[in-house]
Amino acid sequence: MPLDPVHFDGITRHARRIGTAVDDREQRAFAQTVWEEFLDPLVDGDGQVVVEPLADQALWAVDIETAALQATPYEQVYGLDSGTINPTAFKNGIVLDVAQAALGGVPSTLETHRKRTLVTAVHADQPSMISPREEQLDGGNATNILLAAPQISRFEETVVHELALYLAESTHALNYLPATTDLFVLDGPVYPKGMLNWASRDPELEDLLYEYQGPRDVIGNYLAMVEEALEADRPLVGFVKNPSTKALTRTLADQTDVDWVDDTALFIRLLEDVSYTRVRDADGDEQMLRERDTDHLTYTNWFRSRGGADRLIAETALGLDRAHEPTAYEVTFFVVYDPRVDVLYRVEAPYGVTADPDHRQTITRWVLSEIAAHRGPPQAIQKADTLARIDTDNADALKGALEEEFSADQHIDYNHLRWGETKHR
């Protein structure tokens, strides 16, 4: 039964009261204090540096129209993304996911857009029944990989999803990165954060990172990707559309009271330019009106990151071999806030790239120009996203074909029927 208008009015009246009780200005002032007093560098309780500025710590703003009209510093940009059908369980005990990786070029290159890497990651009760293999499709334009996932008693869907997603992305990058020029951008972090987070999620998942070849091969691919970029002197960037890191806020929580659920909330408080006016509504309740400046992109300096999953790369890289000094692989980042859509983006690159101030400046200028011009992620990322995405109809059709091949239906529950996640067959 839907909510009636009177119910909506009652709930929103509570929201106005809550909004008045929580003084947004105090939170913004505290964020400024954190910025000025805690981040140069931010050190945890064990004396380990979590983040530190690469150069001078500063908050910047640029006029959106001016940024959009800047000439691009890169003649050719390649964006890389991967998408999946989402983990699917079948009644014969198989759990699998299928991923597709693709490159988007700006300017467009149809030959590049045709290239694909497909990965099917499979968890089965009897691993020996899965014979890993790799084959070429579409006249050599597509690589088709079958991968047996490690045996695990829980988290099967997590394992097949992230193995398929990250193996497709990293394999595609290694196959085509050597032939690209100018700038290579990943849709997401520079490293497979979802997989690296296994180390802190559960002991059984953590064991996979150290004991099983599949996950280690995936992470090794990303290290090799960084090495390829460094040796070709080609900038490698990760554009994170939905950053969810908590390395700063978790560390700060041990030192002071914090009001933010994650690092994104902290940075938005710092970068959002707002003014306030107090008024009274028709019921006489005081209400705070906020007006946000939407004419400028705001952004931070670059930071070196050693918090959360980034620490694994900075310290040991899980014991995997590295051809360069360990610091070259460390994650560096800056964040950009677009007030037109109220969204924060995180931009990453390995320290081997951003140690050069000219590289940092050029990447920053390009990112700002792309966000300003396209009101969102860079055009190359948007193209890659479109090419790699497996839409619902395709995913449903593929799952139906797999049911026929397995002679086994998908394992579904009532929620699948209620929310239409899987068509009933």
Cα angle for residues 322, 328, 329 (degrees, 5° grid): 65
d(CA 277, CA 383): 42
pLDDT mean over 15-19: 56
The residues facing 287 across adjacent strands are: 279
The residues facing 136 across adjacent strands are: 143
pLDDT digit string, tens, across residues 123-177: 998 767 788 999 999 999 999 999 999 999 899 999 999 999 999 999 999 999 9
Confidence (pTM): 0.92
Burial class of residue 207 (count of CB atoms within 10 Å of its CB; 0-12, 13-18, 19+): middle
In the numeric block, which tokens belong to residue 388? 């790699």
Q: How sure is the predictor about 277, in pLDDT bands with cuts at 50, 70 and 90? A: confident
Q: How sure is the predictor about 278, in pLDDT bands with cuts at 50, 70 and 90? A: confident
What are phi and psi for residue 266, nearest 5 degrees?
-65, -50
**CB contact at 8 A, 262 and 253:** no
The residues facing 347 across adjacent strands are: 239, 334
In the numeric block, which tokens belong to residue 139? 């006249």
pLDDT digit string, tens, across residues 209-262: 999 999 999 999 999 999 999 999 999 999 999 999 999 999 999 999 998 999
Burial class of residue 138 (count of CB atoms within 10 Å of its CB; 0-12, 13-18, 19+): exposed
d(CA 332, CA 310): 9
Work out the mean pLDDT of the chain and round it to a whole number.
Answer: 91
Specify the higher pLDDT residue, 2 or 126: 126
pLDDT digit string, tens, across residues 292-329: 999 999 999 999 999 999 999 999 999 999 999 999 99
pLDDT mean over 184-208: 97
Q: Is 400 helix (H, G, I), strand (E, B) or coil?
A: helix
Q: Is 387 helix (H, G, I), strand (E, B) or coil?
A: helix
Segment holding 299, helix H or strand E: strand 296-300
Q: Tokens 């109220």 appear where? A: 342
d(CA 49, CA 115): 41
pLDDT mean over 354-367: 97
d(CA 161, CA 182): 31
d(CA 174, CA 4): 56
CA distances from 163 to 76, 84, 222 (A): 30, 11, 13
Helical spans, DSSP H, in 234-301? 247-253, 263-271
Greatest Cα pair distance in the chain: 72
Phi-psi region of 375 (alpha: psi -120 to 50; beta: other; left: phi over 0): left
Q: How sure is the predictor about 287, in pLDDT bands with cuts at 50, 70 and 90? A: confident
How far does CA 364 lie from the centroid of its chain? 18
d(CA 263, CA 305): 12
Segment holding 286, helix H or strand E: strand 286-292
pLDDT value, residue 285: 72
Q: Which of 10-14, 24-28, 331-335, 347-351 has the lowest mean pLDDT?
A: 10-14
Instruction: Return all residues near 354 (Cβ < 8 A) that are at least 6 apart.
Output: 54, 302, 332, 360, 363
pLDDT value, residue 105: 96
In the numeric block, which tokens belong to residue 425? 């067959």
Q: Tokens 């559309």 appear where? A: 241
Whether residue 410 is predicted with pLDDT greater than 70 in this model: the reply is: yes
In the numeric block, which tokens belong to residue 293? 């400046």
What are phi and psi for residue 278, nearest 5 degrees?
-95, 130
For the chain, give the percent of residues with pLDDT over 90. 79
d(CA 342, CA 292): 9
Q: Is 228 helix (H, G, I), strand (E, B) or coil?
A: helix
